[in-house]
Structure 1
């Protein structure tokens, strides 16, 4: 089913596409990457050395930029916690549960825009869509510094949530387009890291020393938005819409970039909206297990993003010291992601859920310790390790993209996953009742229960994928022996490709 070409060094590479059999296929069914390979067969003689050099080039161009924008977006989002410590709650009279609703309402906007954003990312150029949403997002963030009351602040937080909806799906789509499944976990762990707390801590500490007519919390929003707006312009220059239109790769490199990721079996780009893939996504058990996981795991995220400053200051630290003590949380978040990602170098397509399950035990234990310990230092250490909740979320999100083929199906699965993310972040702050500060007994009990649910979800998903692979192997034999290269070039789902598609677990 494949055509080979000899390179100058004697190495064989494969075009893997039969032009005569696919030439009559409707462009709406043909994956855009497969079409590029068909149109440029003269580049099929590339060598493994060329592919390695190109991977290094892709890493240098994509990973730093995606890391920066994800970090700044997260920092700008969680700066609300430091703003509260700097007097925002008093100035805007956020009494009772009003502050909790300021945290929750962000995710109402996120929730409403989730599915439209994913479908727009599929239909429109990724870079231009992300750039436009990010510009609007930054303007709204800057305006938050001018809020005069709860209503104005809540309205802008709602719009901020709508604007951020485009960010993570865009970076995930770009990662899926440019990297093999075996390469995705560690790259995702890098750009989806927790460095935001370090940025937030440094800038918040600096702003806290400012002596201006503006309240420090207002200056905080304006400063963060101004910095992020600069990198938004850089985003437009560096990030590509797809390998086919990437300006910093020549035609040969574009071919190599597309061809080297064909083994993913998930395609590169297709803008054709397919209703049957929506139904398949909604009927797929994996969609809902991941949705339950995202809901359970992000209760921790919703609580810590909104109440991090209050939790640390509640231990007896001053506002300025609180901003500094928040910085190490990013190190723990990043460490948990990398600890899960590192084993993929040795087992690229299995045991990821085992690693995620193991790391997920850490926040479960820390939740108990936060309710039992009394010492200031011991509570702070337990609080830091609490942030290990992040690693399993990064891991399972990367698995979601690796295990879903069909571009419409992928958009729907991602939308369901992030809907759960939003619901979790909406309800989580409500468990942290102001009258229970600084102990927040109800909040920690909620996190304990939901984290247990995360563990069950991870185990269910991993075991289910393992059994599905075993079933397919017994029915069809090894995946590599059944690849239909003609059909694999089409925008088909993982279910339609079951003879040669195997799930990462």
Structure 2
């Protein structure tokens, strides 16, 4: 189907789905098809005269309340996943009598659980209060994590890893949803996504693993790792219960005027806040949108590196000739490299709001490609270790895809569908990746490195294609309709419509 035919189809969808609701808005009746944020603005017009200083104050309050706890929860969840690598360095493999590819399957099976639960979790987040879903899931996943310290066989650990994947599933979609609700896509979403999606997990796991490695207790160190991490994460889950909101409209630490400002200041996103109705036309648009599938392939390719390094980080470093206790300490800087890579891309938005994000991401994506080549050719453990550290620049690529998806997808059902597709792709990549690191090839892992080299290169191509398509689409819409700001339809914009249905005034960040 051509672009012109697609746009004609979307226009008909826009008119048929919106006419009834425009009439409802004009008559003062609340429409079930309206975006929840738009309803709140209509119900509280007395707060419309706020100042820029008030908006900045509300943004600061949102940042201080959301960013720390979201960053902590995401970081601890990531730490939970990579903890298995340090546990293996501390004797888990021998204690569970793992052999052959069983350790690789412990890495993969987590994502089978993730894959099974991904679509149901995304639709639960659309239908139910998002923070409540997250807190319930977080409590369960930490109970499971604690139980991992009591596992004695491969089947027991595999079953627990599978359950861990199921219960952790709502976390990333929740953070994506909250970020889209509270922040502007032009300058704020990319930066905030990079903050809560930072790679500090290895800093935490490395530091605590190093400390636990020196603990003189009766329980085995690898078992203590799981128990300590689960206890810490449960503590922060309790804090999150009191802080994380379901939406700006129900946020207890914002007063009525601040809620209005929080919603209205992000109206430029044109992506809406929330609508609990499932809309088939939005799901259809999601699966027929070329951007969705470029993103899907890009997320898959970028996460081959993630799946491999999450599972085999300790083995790679110890394979260079370092002792287990030193290996855990040497894993700490990897988190700093992950964070640096995503922040380089995100902070470009201070200078080029809404533009050139994919350009910076392409440049950053070249770093792990070069380092992967060096890992195959260099000699000397310290040279290889430095190359290995820069390998972690792969994270900036995945973070970029995540922030672009948040910023460029409008319509509640379309957002839910795109989220489900992206995280399914993420799961499949993380299932496949550990199988590419063959135990018999340790410590060189030639098959693994060659695979990462190819998939990382493909992720770079996807970034370039996504950015190019966004630029092309924006120019096409400008040529056909004129500048976006001149075409905003306030009544249609109140409705829960997609970026395709709002094409006259919706432009993509790139």
Both proteins in one fold, TM over 0.5: yes
**1:138, 1:117 → 2: CA distance?**
17
26-35 vs 76-85, greater mean Cα deviation: 26-35
How many angstroms does 1:209 deviate by? Answer: 1.1
Helix, strand or coil at the partner of 1:146: coil
* Mapped partners of 2:406, 2:200: distance in 1: 23
- Corresponding residue number in structure 2 for 1:91: 95
> Is 1:414 equivalent to 2:387 in the alignment?
no
Query: Please, what TM-score do these two structures have when normalized by structure 1?
Result: 0.95
Whole-angstrom CA distance in 1 between matches of 2:414 and 2:94: 46
Residue 4 of structure 1: aligned partner: none
CA 1:124–1:22 in structure 2 vs 1: closer, same or farther (change >3 Å)? farther
1:219 and 1:28 map into 2 onto residues whose CA distance is: 51
- 1:221-249 deviations in Å (ceiling 9; x for gaps): 00000000000000010111110010001
Structure 2 partner of 1:142: 146
Q: 1:457 — aligned with what? A: 462
The partner residue of 2:436 within 431, 439, 442 is: 431
Consecutive unaligned residues in structure 2, runs of 5 or more: 1-21
Quote the Cα distance in structure 2 between the aligned partners of 1:232 and 1:367.
37
Distance in 2 between residues matched to 1:411 and 1:235, nearest whole Å: 23
* Cα separation, 2, equivalents of 1:319 and 1:367: 23
Q: 2:261 aligns with which of 246, 256, 263?
A: 256
Maintained 8 Å contact 1:28/1:271: no
> For residue 240 of structure 2, what is the aligned residue in structure 1?
235
Structure 1 counterpart of 2:334: 329
Correspondence 1:132-171 to 2 at 5 A: 132-171=136-175
Task: Give the counterpart of 2:484 among 479, 483, 501.
Answer: 479
Determine the C-alpha separation between the residues in 2 that align with 1:370 and 1:22.
64
Match of 1:405 in 2: 410
Tell whether the 8 Å contact from 2:30 to 2:39 is kept in structure 1 after alignment.
no
Q: 2:67 aligns with which of 45, 63, 67?
A: 63
Q: Distance in 1 between matches of 2:403 and 2:28?
A: 34
Q: Hey, what does 1:443 align to over in structure 2?
A: 448
Distance in 2 between residues matched to 1:472 and 1:100, nearest whole Å:
48
Give 2:497's match in structure 1, choosing from 492, 495, 500. 492
Residue 276 of structure 1 pairs with residue 278 of structure 2: no
After superposition, the C-alpha distances for 1:131-176 in whole angstroms (9 at most, x for unaligned) are 0000000000000011110001001101101111100110111111
- The aligned runs of 1:193-204 (5 Å cut-off) are 193-204=198-209
**How big is the shift at 1:213?**
2.0
Q: Select 1:208's aligned residue among 191, 213, 220.
A: 213
Partner of 2:132: 128
1:42 maps to 2:46: yes
**1:21 Cα offset (Å):** 4.0
> Does residue 393 in structure 1 map to residue 398 in structure 2?
yes
- Quote the offset at 1:23 in angstroms: 4.4
CA contact (8 A) 1:357 1:455 kept: yes
Q: Residue 408 of structure 2 contacts residue 499 of structure 2 at CA under 8 Å; is this kept in 1? A: yes
Residue 77 of structure 2 is matched in structure 1 by 73
Establish whether residue 175 from structure 1 lines up as the match of residue 215 from structure 2. Answer: no
Unpaired runs of at least 5, structure 1: 1-17
Root-mean-square deviation (CA, aligned residues, Å) is 1.3
1:284, 1:25 → 2: CA distance?
33
> CA, structure 1 residues 203+22, in 2 after alignment: closer, same or farther (shift >3 Å)?
farther
Corresponding residue for residue 302 of structure 2: 297
Match of 1:352 among 346, 357, 375: 357
TM-fit CA distance, 1:464: 0.7
Check the 8 A contact 2:25/2:31 in 1, yes or no.
no
Distance 1:32 1:19 in 2: 17
Whether the 8 Å CA contact 1:33–1:258 is kept in 2: the answer is: yes
Give the superposition deviation at 1:25: 5.5
The within-5 A match list for 1:302-313 is 302-313=307-318
Report the CA distance between 1:19 and its aligned residue. Answer: 10
Aligned equivalent of 1:109, options 102, 107, 113: 113
Instruction: State whether residues 334 and 392 of structure 2, in contact with CA within 8 Å, keep that contact through their aligned partners in structure 1.
Output: yes
Maintained 8 Å contact 2:137/2:170: yes
Q: Is 1:19–1:38's contact at 8 Å kept on the other side of the alignment?
A: no
Aligned-pair CA distance for 1:292: 0.3
> Would you say the 8 A contact 2:38–2:494 is kept in 1?
yes
Q: CA offset at residue 28 of structure 1?
A: 2.1
Shift in Å, 1:26:
5.4
Identify the residue that residue 17 of structure 2 maps to in structure 1: none
Task: Kindly tell me the number of residue pairs found equivalent between the two proteins.
Answer: 489
Distance 2:29 2:378 in 1: 65
Match of 1:12 in 2: none
Which whole-Å CA distance do the structure 2 matches of 1:211 and 1:21 have between them? 68
CA distance in 1, matches of 2:93, 2:191: 39
Normalized against structure 2, the TM-score is what?
Answer: 0.95
Task: Give the counterpart of 1:188 among 183, 193, 214.
Answer: 193
Larger deviation, residues 18-27 vs 278-287 = 18-27
* Structure-2 residue corresponding to 1:13: none
